Amino acid sequence: MAPPLLLLQDIHLHLGTTPLLTGATLSVGPGERLALVGRNGSGKSTLLKVAAGVLQPEAGTRFLQPGATLRSLPQEPDFGGARTVWEHVEAGLGPGDDPYRARWLLEQLGLTGEEAPGRLSGGEARRAALARALAPAPDILLLDEPTNHLDLPAIAWLEAELASMRGALVLISHDRRFLETLSRAMVWLDRGTTRRLEKGFAGFEAWRDQVLEEEEREAHKLDRKIVREEHWMRYGVTARRKRNMRRVGELAALRQRRRDALKATGTVRMAASEGEGSGTLVAQAEAVTKGYDGAAPVVRDFSTRILRRDRVGIVGPNGAGKTTLLKLLTGELQPDSGTVRLGTGLQMVTLDQSRDSLDPALSLAEALTGGSGDQVEVGGQRRHVVGYMKDFLFVPDQARTAVGVLSGGERGRLMLARALARPSNLLVLDEPTNDLDLETLDLLEELLAEYAGTVLVVSHDRDFLDRVCTSVIVSEGDGRWQEYAGGYTDMLAQRGRGVEAKPAAAPERAAAKPAAAPAPAPAAKRKLTFKQQHALQTLPGRMEALQAEIAQLRTVLAAPGLYTRDRARFERFTAALTEKEAALAAAEEEWLELEMLREEIEAG
């Protein structure tokens, strides 16, 4: 076995007077794919900073093999004094690194390099930081929540890029699908120490639950006194997941109802049935179109009907018009043409993901009660605020904690608690999974399963969409939207491909349309771009790799009795096969178009 490239041993660190790391260990060998998981506030980012060498532990040792290169992506990118994105990326290159790869990465991530760091959106800043971390092709790459602020096409691209890299990878992420695709071993940080599992994320949650169950039995055998609230927070996760198994059947029933409704109504013209019960219809859109300032519509001729208890996901690349569509369906925006009919008696609650409405000076209890006593009304019933807090994994001691000192994940839980405490029958969630750990995601999925109303959700989390949604509305480009019954994986199977990036060349075409330019302009177009040249060179290898992966998946699925023995494995491999086949078809189509373009240019 090769010696580790990076080794952390017996790491100790305090956060104020509270011990955060109490003997954590991390070993990274050549080419390993490790996922670092743990609850919000457990110290994952801190341990990654120790691994990167930017934070010194109070005790313990850090060893990095001489000559090994290491790059890291922090949660909050620091651009220092860089005047442009290219200057920031270039500063991360070493003497032997290829600047052309850095340029290519920026292009793949939708950036030119000329952007000013101070004017970047959250997603653009994340892309620039990714280009800086990936460009040197390091021996060890440390990534802290790399998918935050990225849309689905960017996440799919990043998955493929990381899967093809030769170096070792250590990543922190709340995106289950991302972890399943990339991880080959798990490091679980829990109560200051680490445990390691030599399997990918697909086997992690069952293993973790087993460890906790054994630990709970041992605690009872030794007659230890376990703090009640901590016991509930830690071991209740397992119990909730077991209860959630029955909800899989309930979600399947809701999806079948949605599938039948889509078949019955079609997608062109719909009319409410006579005598429909009050409140059954939530929203009905007919041939809705919406654009801005004379530009091409972002929603074009879209129709749908949403009924009570539906859970509808809206997905698409950044800039496709997801927020516009959401506002049209909730009546916040009026369409340019077509009609939107809202149901009767709607009580809508929107989850404000910016969290600007949280006053940092308020205590957690005051934020939930509005400062009026110690009771909160939930579902028409009065509950003590401490009991309600426990539903969202807070302990009683946190009741007087100021909102301003809560972590990002804790603020996310608080926003959920506030939103679900308000009376509603329509819940609108915009990127609800940001900053939430895996346990809180379990909690959110459980709450949404029990929610008696309707849910509209915008999300880039594929696993969350699979676990929650009865249908998914997808951007098809050019303002067209299409609804598919089921979750994200069901949509992939029906559509045959994932979510594509929004074309970045639209402004250039609009600018080139006026005929004021003289003759030289067309000559400049008769040349392959660097991106196209690179694609022509790399696509054949990519297609060959996909064909090999598809053949391997088909071999596994052809095993006699696999469906009967291990249905979950069969479904997982079937979904992976669908995704790989779609990726191969897209790569073949892109290669063919580029080859035709190259031949046309050479002939001209």
- Cα(483)–Cα(259) distance, integer angstroms: 10
81 has binding-site annotation? no
Q: Which two tokens stand for residue 468?
A: 């929650």
**Cα-to-chain-centroid distance, residue 146:** 9
Summarize pLDDT for 534-560 with one digit per residue, the tens: 777 788 888 888 888 888 888 888 788
Q: Check if the beta carbon of residue 14 is closer than 8 Å to that of residue 60.
A: no
How high does pLDDT run on average in the chain?
A: 82
Superfamily the domain 252-495 falls into: P-loop containing nucleotide triphosphate hydrolases (3.40.50.300)
Task: Kindly indicate whether the domain formed by 526-603 is annotated with CATH number 1.10.287.380.
Answer: yes
> Class of 6-213 per CATH?
alpha beta
Sequence spans of domains, the chain:
6-213, 252-495, 526-603
Task: Tell me the Cα Rg of the chain.
Answer: 26
Determine if residue 136 is labeled as part of a ligand binding site: no
DSSP assignment string, 418-437: HHHHS--SEEEEESTTTT--
Whether 322 has a binding-site annotation, put simply, is yes
Q: Which residues pair with 496 in a beta bridge?
A: none
Dump strand ranges (E) for 220-331.
281-290, 299-307, 311-315
Query: Do 6-213 and 252-495 show the same overall fold?
Result: yes
- CB 156: neighbour CB atoms within 10 A? 20
Distance, in Å, from the CA atom of 491 to the CA atom of 244, rounded to the nearest integer, reads 23
Flag whether 42 is marked binding: yes
The CA–CA distances, whole Å, from 305 to 221, 268, 302, 325 equal 56, 11, 10, 13
Q: Is 113 annotated as a binding residue?
A: no
Question: At 28, is the pLDDT very low, low, confident or very high (cuts 50, 70, 90)?
Answer: very high
pLDDT digit string (tens) for 574-591?
A: 888 888 888 888 887 787
HSE-CB at 525 with a 13 A cutoff on CA atoms is 10
Q: Say whether 44 counts as a known binding-site residue.
A: yes
Does 319 appear as a known binding residue?
yes
| 296 vs 424: CA distance, rounded Å | 35
pLDDT 10s digits, 235-266:
455 555 554 555 666 777 777 777 777 665 44
The mean-pLDDT minimum among 188-192, 329-333, 426-430, 538-542 falls in: 538-542
pLDDT in tens, 370-381: 877 888 887 678
| Residue 527 annotated in ligand binding | no
471 is in an annotated binding site: no
| Helix/strand/coil for 403 | helix
Distance CA 481, CA 458 (A): 14
Residue 153 has pLDDT above 70, yes or no: yes
Whether residue 173 is annotated as binding a ligand: the answer is no
Q: Is residue 498 a known part of a binding site?
A: no
- Residue 110 is assigned to a ligand binding site: no
Q: Taking a C-beta distance cutoff of 8 angstroms, is the pair 474, 482 a contact?
A: yes
Which pairing describes strands 454-458 and 311-315: parallel, antiparallel, or unpaired? parallel
